[in-house]
Amino acid sequence: MDFIIKSYKKGEFLLEFRKADILGVRVAALTMGEAVKTAEAFMDSEKPHLIATANAEMIMRATHDTELKEILNTADLVVPDGAGTVWASNYLGVQMPERVAGFDLVQALFANAPAKKRRIFFFGSAPGVAEKAKAKAEKDYPGIQIVGTRDGFFTAEDEAEIIAQIKEAKPDLLLAALGVPKQEKWLKAHMQELNCPLCIGVGGTFDVMAGVMKRAPLWMQKAKLEWLFRGMLQPKRIGRLMALPRFVMAVKASKKFK
């Protein structure tokens, strides 16, 4: 399914995909290629956009966090980041072509960035991590322009300085690794002021790029066991991972009442 440009005027456009309503969160049914094309179109525009990457844990959180749910349902694009999201969409009758992992989406945008002269800002993670992720990106994607970094440890008093730093750097793409839902709420609150064409909350992406956290082996990703790998590496996440069986039960229950 190709995305449909419904209207176009001075760099402004509306993109439309079929969407799955998963526990009240509308997720686009699209391929990775379509997600990349859409993100590139956002970066070519003159207005700020927000892409959210919705996995089962985020969707479950949105069932009791009305602010997060509102942010997701007003975002310019919500992609299915997680095997659970893909399963839920298919179970509910909306064919989801594939998983669009936030990490992989970002890497695809990095690959295109040098030729398109994109300016990218890394915001978040522990002190020093964004700088290591920057070095990794510069090694893997020669010519990429990472125009600024800032760690994710800050107080409300620091926000004006952070916003000024990002605005001065003039990025086309702002990646925020503050964790869910802080990153989505922070980006939504400030995206108009920042006036960055595209903002994405990227969770642990910088940690993986910096080598602080390992990503699941490819076979586990293909077997839809990435959640298990994270639990093995971070036993403290076990409580959070319990959201997965609750998610499955909630989706099945929701179908009964549709």
Summarize pLDDT for 20-63 with one digit per residue, the tens.
999 999 999 999 999 999 999 999 998 999 999 999 999 999 99
Q: Using the 8-state DSSP alphabet, how is residue 217 labeled?
A: P
Over the stretch 3-12, which tens digit does the pLDDT of each residue have?
444 444 444 5
pLDDT category, 237, cuts 50, 70, 90? low
Name the average pLDDT for the chain: 88
User: In the structure encoding, which two tokens stand for residue 129, read together?
Assistant: 């991590």
pLDDT-derived band at 231 (thresholds 50, 70, 90) equals low
SS3 for 173?
A: strand
E strand residue ranges, 4-128: 4-9, 12-16, 19-22, 25-28, 49-54, 77-80, 119-124
pLDDT of residue 145: 98
Give the pLDDT mean for 190-207. Answer: 96
Instruction: Indicate whether 1 pLDDT > 70.
Output: no
**pLDDT tens-digit map of 202-224:** 999 999 999 986 665 665 556 55
* Residues in the chain, overall count: 258
Which of 233 and 142 is assigned the larger pLDDT?
142
83-103: pLDDT as tens digits: 899 999 999 999 999 999 999
- pLDDT of 3 reads 42
134-151 residue pLDDT tens: 999 999 999 999 999 999
